[in-house]
Amino acid sequence: MSKTILCIGAGYVGGPTMAMIARKCPGYRVHVVDIDADRIRAWQSDQLPIYEPGLHEVVKSCLNRNLFFSTDIARGIEEADIIFVSVNTPTKTFGQGAGMAADLQYWEKTARQIKQHSRSDKIVVEKSTLPVRTAEAMERILHSGERTVHFEVLSNPEFLAEGTAIKDLENPDRVLIGGHSTDSGRRAVAELVSIYAHWISRERILTTNVWSSELSKLAANAFLAQRISSINSLSALCERTEADVTEVARAIGMDSRIGPKFLNASVGFGGSCFKKDILNLVYLCRHYGLTEVADYWEQVVRMNEYQEDRFVRQMIASMFNTVAGKRIAVFGFAFKADTGDTRESPAIRVCRSLIEERASLVVTDPEALDNARRDLADCAGKVTFDKDPYRAAEGAHAIAVMTDWSEYKKLDFQKIYDSMSKPAFLFDGRNCLDHQRLFQTGFNVYPIGRKPLSHL
């Protein structure tokens, strides 16, 4: 074994990324540690802690060969040459910057642990998304006090999307590595480049200064989310004007300067990154006195909330202005298909609003029911959970599609319609079903950004 890589944080980013590095670089020993012993046990079992297509095979192919999971953080640090930091950096919920800034307590604790247990020089790689210039703070902590060991801090943000993590890791659009332009900085960058070069062509490995790399991650997520908010804002206008948002998206997406991706109008974007990263960007801009820039980006998040609220308003208005006492089947709780992750899922806000309106909910999802139960733990008695969509829809007045699971397209909607209360409503928050067919079956169909198909 030539070198040992350590990753601190075995979550959605750390786990899959390290599994891929271990698979592609058999000469490296890859060790992943976490404070959460249950999570570590799950990584070592057949029931991985996260659902991600293809992940199981990758982990299985190198587990206990050159990929190891443990809770021994101190030993991991001591033995490592390269340390990836992949702990969670959620939005702060308290004190200064609450609801906006990144909560860096886990990250800082990690920096202190690295300092405490290091006996030899190390490369420290920021994998978690962090505010710009965090590397500077990391360096200050690592190099505080007695300087017996040298740490070279690099930024290497992860661009994988959940549900396609393995594909994205195997064949990324680019890998971004930010480092200092000192001799030791350049050597560290070259070392990290050589790891990725095991399977990614050099042209797609981009090297920049640390701050550009940190900002690029926030900027990429802000741009992607902005596209969704832009098309969602137009979906509201389409619903008033009989324009069809799918046709509009297609028409503008064929302009090669705009491109077709990320133009699917929806009930809103979710996921652990978009909102958090934009708010982070907004906080940073405010910090530097750039009020107009901050306001500009903040509107992307506000538009998303508007879209979620608008969806609920539409449901209530079309169901004769009340959902009180009505059974509503929520199809999908994950923030997108092919993941069990529900962080910032639009389903959370939609479900809470419907519960406030005294609807009685049944949530169904193929992978995310455990997380959904946790997210709605305080709503006991007002929501039930059922893995089977047919049972969930039985007796329901309406179906609200929150996640674009491909299995929903294959359901027998005639059978579902027959089992529902009439008039039966279907609100497709993902525009993923065949609306015309559903209408012919008897449903009153409410898509996003398109004229409703109603029998009423």
Distances (CA, A) of 446 to 119, 170, 392, 452, 454: 62, 38, 19, 5, 8
Sequence-ordered list of residues with C-beta below 8 angstroms from that of 179, at least 6 positions apart, any chain:
152, 154, 155, 185, 186, 188, 189, 192, 207, 209, 210
What is the smallest separation between the CB atom of 224 and ligand UDX, expressed in angstroms?
Answer: 5
Q: Is residue 262 a contact residue for ligand UDX (CB under 6 A)? A: yes
Residue tagged 């249950």 (tokens): 38
Is 193 within 8 Å of 206 (Cβ atoms)?
no
Task: Pick from 6, 8, 228, 319 the residue near ligand UDX by CB under 6 A.
Answer: 228
Distances (CA, A) of 157 to 8, 129, 213, 231, 260: 15, 6, 7, 27, 25
Among ligand ADP, ligand UDX, none, the one that 271 touches (CB under a kind-dependent 5 to 8 A) is ligand UDX
Q: How many residues bind ligand ADP (CB under 6 A)?
A: 21
Residues 204-223 touching ligand UDX, rule: CB under 6 A, are: 221
Residues 2-21 touching ligand ADP, rule: CB under 6 A, are: 8-14
| Residue 227, both tokens | 């596209």
Helix (H, G, I), strand (E, B) or coil at 142: helix
Is 273 catalytic? The answer is: yes
Please say which residue, 33 or 236, places its beta carbon nearer to ligand ADP. 33
> Which of 93, 88, 114 has its CA nearest to residue 36?
88
What is the smallest separation between the CB atom of 315 and ligand ADP, expressed in angstroms?
Answer: 31
Task: Pick from 18, 22, 73, 368 the residue near ligand ADP by CB under 6 A.
Answer: 73
Q: Is residue 272 a contact residue for ligand ADP (CB under 6 A)? A: yes
What is the smallest separation between the CB atom of 208 and ligand ADP, expressed in angstroms?
Answer: 21
Q: Is residue 159 a contact residue for ligand UDX (CB under 6 A)? A: yes
- Determine the Cα–Cα distance for residues 338 and 19; give it in Å rounded to an integer: 19
Residue type, 192: L
Q: x/- string (CB under 6 A) for ligand UDX, residues 113-152?
A: ----------------------------------------
Among ligand UDX, ligand ADP, none, the one that 262 touches (CB under a kind-dependent 5 to 8 A) is ligand UDX
Q: Is residue 134 a contact residue for ligand ADP (CB under 6 A)? A: no
Q: Is residue 142 a contact residue for ligand ADP (CB under 6 A)? A: no
Among 25, 62, 238, 273, the one annotated catalytic: 273
What is the smallest separation between the CB atom of 273 and ligand UDX, expressed in angstroms?
Answer: 3
**b/e per residue 413-452 (b: at least 16 CB within 10 A):** beebbeebeebbbbbbbbbbbebeebbebebbbbbbbbeb
**b/e per residue 260-279 (b: at least 16 CB within 10 A):** eebbbbbbbbbbbbbbbbbb
Please say which residue, 115 or 336, places its beta carbon nearer to ligand UDX. 336
E strands, 168-294, are 175-178, 205-208
Longest dimension (CA), the chain: 77
Give the residue numbers annotated as catalytic, written as ranges.
273
Q: For binding to ligand ADP (CB under 6 A), which residues are involved?
A: 8-14, 33-36, 39, 73, 86-88, 106, 109-110, 128, 272
Q: For binding to ligand UDX (CB under 6 A), which residues are involved?
A: 158-162, 221, 224, 228, 262-264, 266, 269-271, 273-274, 335-336
